[in-house]
Structures are given as structure tokens and as C-alpha cells.
Chain A
Amino acid sequence: MSKNFLIWGAFATIFAAAGVLAAGGPLEGVIEKQSLNVSAIVMFFLFVSATLAITYWAAQRTKTAKDFYTAGGGITGLQNGLAISGDYMSAASFLGISALVYRSGYDGLIYSIGFLVGWPVILFLVAERLRNLGKYTFADVASYRLAQTPIRTLSAFGALATVILYLIAQMVGAGQLIQLLFGLPYWMAVVIVGALMILYVTFGGMLATTWVQIIKAILLLLGATFIALGALYSFDFSFEKLFTAAINTSREGQPGTLSGEAIMAPGGLVNNWFDAISLGIALMLGTAGLPHILMRFFTVADAKEARKSVFYATGFIGYFYILTFIIGFGAIVLISKNPEYLTAKGGLVGGNNMAAIHLSHAVGGDIFLGFISAVAFATILAVVSGLTLAGASAVSHDLYASVIKRGQVNEAQEMKISKMATVVLGIIAIGLGIAFEKQNIAFMVGLAFAIAASANFPVLFLSMFWSKLTTRGAFLGGFIGLTTAIVLVVIGPTVWVALLGNEEPIFGSKYPALISVTVAFVGIWLFSITDNSKRAEVDRAAFEAQDVRCQTGIGAEGAVMH
């Protein structure tokens, strides 16, 4: 296949980046740029070259649709556990959660715990069944015994909505981070991320996407471990000393930060029962409805490897969150008083999200800063590649092959469409990333989770657990859940007040999941039990066969069945 194009594209990207880096960036950005960071640039080129070599290797092994969507189903449990934790340890969670700990201490831990506890529940109730029933996308499972056209369409749009919202958030974060770390102009940073991700996904498919994710997960775990140990070293590895020093660090005048004993206890992240329960539901069920996470369960050979992946992933993610907690506290002591990292006004250079990056410099010097900067970049590349592949499979496998062509399509055509979809999604992501540069994008991840929890998850869950589910119930209930989630976010504080500038929100909470998820489940139930159509009989009658396959994996041997 067009290998020349791959090599050309790779070189063009590297040289474009090199040109701009050497010039130090001609444009002025909104954020203050860092001076040219040579070690970061060297590390960056090393990483990009390595990932392009992987992509080249993967491209030669990616021949069938199964290779493209699921890396041939040959990823092991440990590898997949690393890849899943890599999807979770995005730049947003590495920088964002350590920044949250840096600002308000204990509250950062509450957030990371919410993200983590979804995993055990996914393992107990979803992971194995998903592996036993699905082929390439979670829509395979949701529509297993239901009418293909409506359910695939709904699931594919649910997946695309989640993917695009998530992509925008990642692209904007990427642009700002790279602008700061490498002194590149914002648009150039976004274009480089977009171009590299298109290369990885179109040529290397799931195999390249997974290996880029695995390598980055290992680098990030090692890097974060080193920062945390470096910080603890300053306190003779005594948590007592670290916390005492943090409490005694007065940060008056630094915007948005807590000081004194307040950092050792819950602050204001959640302060009423509605937000507490609703946030918990969104994080827990939302995780189980994220298409780029769910598709990782199809890359392993069987249910046994699927469950091992969750076990490893939970361990890595939990360990990583403990590290971010130490990093945040280390940053309070080691950098919040150091003039080297502060602006004239007393805030952190580059904003609070840079706490972990500055701490890496404080404990490891310029070379280690370069390493961590390159890892942060790699993190963004790996996560956007996974997202794009999930979006492209929704277009090619669900919408094109199953809905438009009704399954009458050969592999070559389906692959061609998925590569075209990758390029189009990449261009959309670049365009929206640039368009949203100066917008407040905080609501986007929340909205992505709300949609995943309210539209994707209920249909997926009930299709596996409830024998009386019908096509009509799943479609109408899922659609109502989707609409409710979007409407409540739009009339809530994040969009109605922060983005549209109204005084008071119509819906008072930032977290709509408690209502929208309930509405979705009730809707699916109501429209299923009142469904007396012919189709409903077919749907219900097919549950038994589905359940046997779901429970045992008979008929779903995947890689070993020929």
C-alpha cells in the first residue's frame, strides 16, 4: 500500500515542525511561551521517529478489517491493560488532576477516585460479555439481536458525538500545551497533532494506535514515578514532613489556591447530595459508554484476556492517581514559592495546569523537563489516535457497512471508507481545535461523559441484561437520554452561564447524569414493555441465544475460530 506516501507524510511533518522550532515560532500566542527547550525537542523527535517506525511496522501487518479495527485480536491482557490505562492517563488527567491537587489539595483525590471506581464495575458486569458478543464496535453488541438500522444509527451517532467532543477538548489542550512547551504557534501545534494522528491511524490502524498508547503509558508511569520520588526525596521520603511543609506554605495572593490545613480535607468540589450522586453516576457509567475505551475489549483474544486487561488497568490507573496526588503536594512546597516558576502577578508560569511540568524541572533539571514535555505531547497523540479510530469505525463499520450497505460490502471497501473517515475526522478535529482556541471548553468532557452515560451505556447494558428489551424501546429511550443530557448541559451553569453569559442557570447543577440516565432507563423500559410489534417478538425471542453466547463465548472464539 502507499508506503511512499507514509514516508513522505512523516518527513513533511517532521521538517515542518523542525522549521518552526528552529525559528522559535513566528506568531504570538495567547499564552506566554517558554524559551526554546532543546532537550524537549530532541526527546520529541526521538519519540515521533519511534512511533513512525512502529506505524511502518504495523502498516505491513494491517491487511484485513480485523487487523485494522482490532489489531488482529492478538493483544495480550497486560498489553491491553497498559493501553486502557494509557487512554485514561491523558494529558488532561496528568496535568489536570495534579493541578487540582496543587490548587486545593484533597479535592483532587475525590476526582481521581470517581474516575477509578468505574473500572471494577465494568469488569464485573460488562467486559466479558462485551468481548463474547462484539466484533469491532460497541454498536455490534447493542444491536446484536435488535433491528440493525435504527440501533446502529443511534449508537454510531452516540459514539461520534462523544468522540468529537472529546477530540475538541484534547486538541485545544494539546495546542496550548505544545505552544507553551515548545514555543510553537497554536495552529501549528494543532496541525502537527492532527497530521501525526491521521498517519498513525490510517496506516497503522489499531496495531499502531495500541503500541503508541502502550509505549506512552510506560513512559508516563516512569516519568510520574520519578517526579513523585524526586519530590519525596526532598522530605526524606516522609509523608508527614511533606504534608507539614505543604500546610505551612502560605500562598496568599495566588489566585484559586487553598492554603493551610484546608488542603488536607474536602473543600468545595461537591457540596450537595445531588452533585455528589450525579457526578458519581456520570464518571462511573460514562466510562462504560466511551467508545474508544470499549473498542479495546475487542483487541484481545477472549474473555479471559479481557478481564485480565481490566485488572492490570485498574492497578496502573490507581497507582498513577496516587502519584498525581504526591506530585500536586510536592508542587505546593517546591514550586509555589520559587520565583523561577512564578509570573510577576504571583501565579504559575503557564497557569496551574503546568504544576507537574514545573515540578519535573525542579526535581530533574532541563533534561528531565524535556523528557516530561515530550511524554505530555506523546500522551495527547496517543489519546487522539484512539479517539479517531473509534470515530472512524463508527462511520465505516456501523454507518457505512451495516446501515447504508446493509452488510453487502467487502472488506477492502470498508477499510477504504474507514481510512477516508479517519482523514475527515482528523481534518474536522484540526479545524474545530483551531476554532475553539479561545473558547471555554471545560464543558466538553462533561458533556461527552453525560452522553456516554445517558445514551450509549443504557442501551448497551440493557441489551445484554434485559430479555424484554425491544428495538423501539432501545431507540426511543436512548434518543430521549441523549437529548436530555444535551439539553441539561446547555441550560446548566457550564453553558448557559459561563458560555452564553446568562445570569442564572435554568438547571442548577453541572452534573445532569442522575436525571438523564434515569430518564433513559425509564424510557427504554416503558417503550419496550408497551411494544407489541412483530419486531419486538423477534427481539425478545433472540435473547436466549445471545445470552448463551454472552455467558460462555460459544460462537465467539474470535482469533482462534476459523
Chain B
Amino acid sequence: MQPDLVEKVKNNPKYQELVSKRSRFAWILSIIMLVIYYAFILVIAFSPQSLAIKVSETSVITVGIPIGLLVIISAFVLTGVYVWRANGEFDNLTHQIKEDLK
């Protein structure tokens, strides 16, 4: 890439907006995922019996099963949230940055 082109893009306020918004969003979502996963796995390591509690007195299902399912669903939902915002807001900004170069 040409050095003057790099400068031009870098000095575009839309580029700075894109980079800061997207980085922030991506790191926040990553941290949420890591917290969910490590909370789950550390409970397994330190206190497995707390996942063996029954969901109700009449049921044989333990809380570990819905919690495990929620971890799986949260991974899917978080990717969905990211893709939704990226395909709209972030792609629009990227498109405008490219338009400004023309």
C-alpha cells in the first residue's frame, strides 16, 4: 500500500471511529465469552458438587445440564450479536472510508 494512502486513511476520522468502536466491541465480547467459559470450568474444577444440585425436587435433571447448554447457546448468541453489528454499522463505516478515497 502507498504511504500517502495509509496516511490519508489513518487521518480520516471515520477510520479512527471504526477502529476504536470495533476494537472495543470485539474485546468486550471476547472478555464476556472468556468469563463465561472460565467461570464454568473453574466451578467444575473447584466445586463440581454445585453442578450436581437438582433443578427441582421432583426432577432428576441437575443444574449442570441447563448451565452447560446456556454456555453453548451464549457462544452462538455472542457471535450473532457481533455479526449483526459488524455487517451493519462497521461495514457502513468501512464502505464510507473507501468512498472517501475515490
Contacts and interface: CB of A to CB of B under 8 A. Distances in A.
Partners in one complex: yes
Interface of A: 106, 109-110, 112-114, 116-117, 119-121, 123-125, 128, 239-240, 243-244, 247, 261, 264-267, 269-273, 275-277, 279-280, 284, 304, 307-308, 310-311, 314-315, 318, 321-322, 544-545, 548-549, 551-555
Contact of A280 (B10, B41, B48, B78): B41
Given A120-B29, A270-B44, A545 B65 contact: no
B98 A554 contact: yes
Interface of A is mostly: helix
B30 A280 contact: no
Given A124-B29, A552-B15, A273 B80 contact: no
Contacts of A247: 60
Given A125-B26, A261-B52, A318 B83 contact: no
24 contacts: A109-B68, A114-B41, A119-B79, A120-B29, A120-B30, A120-B82, A125-B27, A240-B59, A264-B61, A265-B62, A267-B48, A277-B42, A307-B82, A307-B83, A308-B87, A314-B75, A544-B6, A548-B1, A548-B9, A551-B22, A552-B97, A554-B5, A554-B97, A555-B1
Given A117-B37, A240-B60, A549-B1, 5 more contacts: A120-B30, A265-B49, A271-B48, A318-B72, A548-B6
B37 to A, nearest CB: 5
A265 B9 CA distance: 54
Contacts of B80: 311
A287 B73 CA distance: 19
A120 B65 CA distance: 21
Interface in B20-52: 22, 26-27, 29-30, 33-34, 36-38, 40-42, 44-46, 48-49, 51-52
Interface of B is mostly: helix
B49 to A, nearest CB: 7
Nearest to B2: A545
Interface of B: 1, 3, 5-6, 9-10, 15, 18-19, 22, 26-27, 29-30, 33-34, 36-38, 40-42, 44-46, 48-49, 51-52, 59-62, 64-65, 68-69, 71-73, 75-76, 78-80, 82-83, 86-87, 91, 94, 97-98, 101
A273 to B, nearest CB: 5
